């Protein structure tokens, strides 16, 4: 066979080449679409939801796991799922009635919901369990302020300040209480105490400016 004849046999018609290219492109396109379609079906789970699911699985696996219940409750609390969080904290108290974290956070939830009597109950319990629990004292003081119990604010602040005298937030609570009671001199004194510990505290600065 001549060289020319062999070359003619080896030549591929242009139409066939075009068809092959079209099919290749089509397959690639379909592959991309398939990947996109598959990816689109994958749900995006928010981190906080994933945490709740993980803690729930731990609780279901071991209902007596206090730490897992506390983590689940707090995760729900941060999502403002207060009723569900409360349920978990109450389950903790069934296992450990003197659990400090559960009592304190039940106080926080009740305060957020303006259930002040309930908030007082749990904050007081937290302070019974830990006398220098500063943030429980602050929560209780704020709860008293909201109810106009200004004398009680001063009492709870003073009690914890004996143990933690450098806590500016407790002095700030006292300043607000004295201001509400109309005792400007004592209010100024407490605002100045705040500034001793936090020189640029905006609330104390504004309070003193207002009382000039």
φ and ψ of 132, to 5 deg:
-105, 30
Q: What is the mean pLDDT of each run of 10 residues along the chain (212 residues)?
A: 42 46 45 45 74 94 96 96 97 97 98 98 98 98 98 97 96 97 97 96 96 90
Question: What pLDDT is recorded for position 43?
Answer: 63
- Give, to the nearest 10 degrees, the angle between helix 150-161 and helix 134-146: 170
The pLDDT score that the predictor gives to residue 46 is: 82
At 48 the pLDDT is: 82
Which residue is it, tokens 């396109």?
29
Candidates 112, 108, 124, 199; CA nearest to 159 is 124
CATH of 45-130, one of 1.10.10.10, 1.10.3720.10, 3.90.180.10, 1.25.40.10: 1.25.40.10
How many helices (H) and strands (E) the chain has is answered by 12, 0
- Looking at residue 135, its pLDDT comes to 98
0.85 exceeded by pTM: no
On average, the pLDDT of the chain sits at: 86
């Amino acid at each position: 066979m001549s060289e020319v004849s062999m070359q003619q046999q080896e030549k591929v018609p242009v139409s066939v080449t075009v068809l092959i290219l079209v099919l290749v492109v089509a397959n690639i396109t379909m592959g991309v679409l398939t990947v996109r379609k598959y990816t689109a079906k994958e749900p995006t789970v928010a981190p906080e939801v994933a945490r709740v699911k993980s803690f729930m699985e731990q609780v279901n696996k071991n209902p007596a796991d206090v730490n897992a219940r506390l983590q689940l409750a707090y995760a729900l609390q941060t999502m403002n799922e207060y009723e569900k969080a409360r349920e978990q904290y109450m389950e903790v108290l069934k296992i450990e009635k003197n659990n400090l974290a559960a009592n304190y956070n039940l106080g926080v939830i009740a305060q957020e919901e303006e259930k002040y009597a309930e908030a007082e109950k749990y904050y007081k319990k937290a302070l019974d369990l830990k006398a220098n629990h500063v943030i429980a004292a602050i929560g209780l003081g704020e709860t008293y302020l909201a109810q106009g119990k200004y004398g009680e604010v001063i009492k709870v602040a003073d009690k914890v300040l004996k143990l933690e005298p450098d806590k500016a937030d407790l002095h700030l609570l006292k300043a607000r209480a004295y201001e509400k009671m109309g005792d400007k001199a004592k209010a100024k004194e407490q605002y100045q105490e705040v500034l001793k510990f936090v020189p640029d505290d905006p609330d104390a600065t504004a309070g003193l400016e207002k009382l000039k």
